[in-house]
Amino acid sequence: MSKSIKEIAFVVSLGTLLSKFGGMARQLVIAGAFGISASYDAYNYAYIIPSFFLVLLGGVNGPLHNSMVTLLADKNKVDSRLFINSINNIVTLILLLISFFVFFSSDLLINLIGPSLSPEIKDIASSQLKIMSPIIFIAGLIGIGFGSLNAKKEFLISSIAPLISSLIIIIMISNFWLNKDTTNDLFQSDFNGGIILAKATFIGALFQYLIQIPFLIKKGIFSINISIKTKYSEIKRAWRMIAPASLSSGMIQINVFTDLFFASKLVGAAAALSYANFLVQAPLGIISSTILIPLLPVFVSLRAKENHFKLIKKIHQGLILSSTSMVFLGSIFISLSTPIVILIYGRGEFNQNAIDIVSQLLIAYGIGMPFYLFRDLLVRVFYGIEDAKTPFRISTIAILLNLFFDWFLIGGTSPWGELSPLNLGVNGLVFSTTFVNFFACIFLLLKLDNKLDNFNLSNLLFQNFKIIFIGFISAISSFITFKIIYLPYNFFSLFIKISISSGISLIIFYCLANIIKIDDIDNLNKFLKEKFIRL
């Protein structure tokens, strides 16, 4: 390999870190400009379909990206160019038709996703969806391009592309915020803000594709040709990989549709979920990219029988790294939820009611964090060994579970009244996702244990129980530390208190991990020093 895993991980981590800072700045501007308002609530319903395709097909670590990395691993430059062009043409045609359908059916789709929304929010969301419908077409080009670049050992551009999108949104929303006309009626103000937000999102997605073109040309794998010159057997092999992987990840995204369907009867729920989810996804995305992107090529390279034990070792190392990082971060979000929300969002239109709702959601997300990355890593293992059917089947079951838990945890509404003894409000939707991810992890582990001899599942589960125990102690320590530190109340004091509490919690977590002897703790030490271990 021309680049070591350590070098790749460093590049990916740097690019992803910059993008996440850009994403955080974007959310700060959106929170200050809109808060939990009709325009941003509507945006979350309008964006769900474009984002479905952008995450599914255009996202780094998405199924199209991962499939392209796997399928291009053994191809030279000429074969790669022909293959990429053929897949591009097929995907483009399909997505173009879907984009047209979404544009002309925006009213119907918004009614299906958010049946309980007010007429005003539905009008705003429908107009936003029309503007953002071309993102569906662009998403396929983004995913194929980034997957192709990663397969050819070009990682930086795919990591920093979201930064470009965030900067465009920041500029356009800031201009709207600074020049906001307060004399307009409330609906017109919300409508104007929603339209600006939709336009900014579309332009940002477009630039994510345009920025990769020079790099594709440099690698010699860019071409515009409407013909399909790749052998039929190669196309068939590609769709055997891409179709189940896309359907599998699509099933996960369908859970988001389900959540918003039930959230539509809760005022401001979609906006609150978006703000809380971002706080979780920001660090999760950095760690996910640092661990998953370098590991996928490793799983691909070790899938041969003679590398069986090396593959198992890498899987265990990846899962332990995932658990330790996510359990620690989850402990911080649970113990310091309100201070974190105030620090990040507490200004402008983001009032005390918004702070209370998002803080509660952050606790719920923190509880489920370990299962998010654990599930993602297990799915990548199956992709790496060219088994996309197993994640697809389990994701199908997950949809049904998510549908039931969403309904059950927010009251079990029916024509005969509420049938469930629980009504956790919008928090119930987050707990539902946690339960589904937990069950998916268990099913995936059991399948992997059957598929790989000597996988040693019992030891892996025991190690994770120890990590969760350490996380519990860590959460208590950060909460107590924050309470006993007294500083005057302002932005910088709050930042210092959170930093000190988190730092002490990290030290306690790390020391306990060494004392209790978590497996692969030596590799965790190297990860903290070098970002990742060498293959």
Helix (H) or strand (E) holding 418: strand 417-418
Tell me what the mean pLDDT of segment 515-523 comes to: 68
Alpha-carbon distance 161 to 146, whole Å?
A: 10
Shared domain check, 286 and 141: no
Tell me what the mean pLDDT of segment 160-177 comes to: 87
Shared domain check, 216 and 307: no
Q: Is residue 473 part of a domain?
A: yes
Tell me what the mean pLDDT of segment 16-34 comes to: 81
Shared domain check, 211 and 314: no
Q: Is residue 239 part of a domain?
A: no
Q: Is residue 258 part of a domain?
A: no
Q: Is residue 246 part of a domain?
A: no
Q: pLDDT-derived band of residue 283, with 50, 70 and 90 as boundaries? A: confident
Q: Greatest CA span in the chain, whole angstroms?
A: 72
The pLDDT value given to residue 236: 64
Q: How many CA atoms lie within 13 A of 492 on its CB side?
A: 0
Structural domain boundaries enclosing 128: 37-154+181-230
Shared domain check, 285 and 210: no
Tell me what the mean pLDDT of segment 468-482 comes to: 92
Alpha-carbon distance 255 to 331, whole Å?
A: 25
Domains held by the chain: number? 2
Q: Is residue 470 part of a domain?
A: yes
Shared domain check, 478 and 356: yes
Shared domain check, 292 and 219: no
Of all residues in the chain, what percent carry a pLDDT higher than 70?
74
Shared domain check, 357 and 218: no
Q: Count the residues in the chain.
A: 535
The number of beta carbons lying within 10 Å of the beta carbon of residue 283 is 17
Q: Is residue 276 part of a domain?
A: yes
Span of 144-158, 390-404, 488-502, 517-531 with lowest mean pLDDT: 517-531
Are the CB atoms for 300 and 382 separated by under 8 Å?
no
**Residue 413 β-bridge partners:** 418
What ranges make up the beta strands (E) of 122-230? none
Q: Is residue 13 part of a domain?
A: no
The pLDDT value given to residue 296: 64
- 389 CB-near residues (< 8 Å, 6+ apart): 244
Q: What share of the chain is helix, strand, coil (3-state, %, to 5)?
A: 80, 0, 20
Q: Over 50: is that where the pLDDT of 221 sits? A: yes
The pLDDT value given to residue 455: 79
Of 120 and 6, more confident: 120
Tell me what the mean pLDDT of segment 291-310 comes to: 68
Nearest CA among 304, 349, 303 for reference residue 37? 349
The pLDDT value given to residue 461: 86
Cα 205 to chain centroid distance, Å, stands at 16
Shared domain check, 279 and 219: no
Shared domain check, 473 and 330: yes
Place of tokens 């009614």: 111
Shared domain check, 403 and 333: yes
Shared domain check, 226 and 274: no
Q: Is residue 341 part of a domain?
A: yes
Shared domain check, 356 and 459: yes
Q: Quick one: three-class SS letters along 272-319? A: HHHHHHHHHHHHHHHHHHHHHHHHHHHHHHCCCHHHHHHHHHHHHHHH
pTM above 0.75, yes or no: no
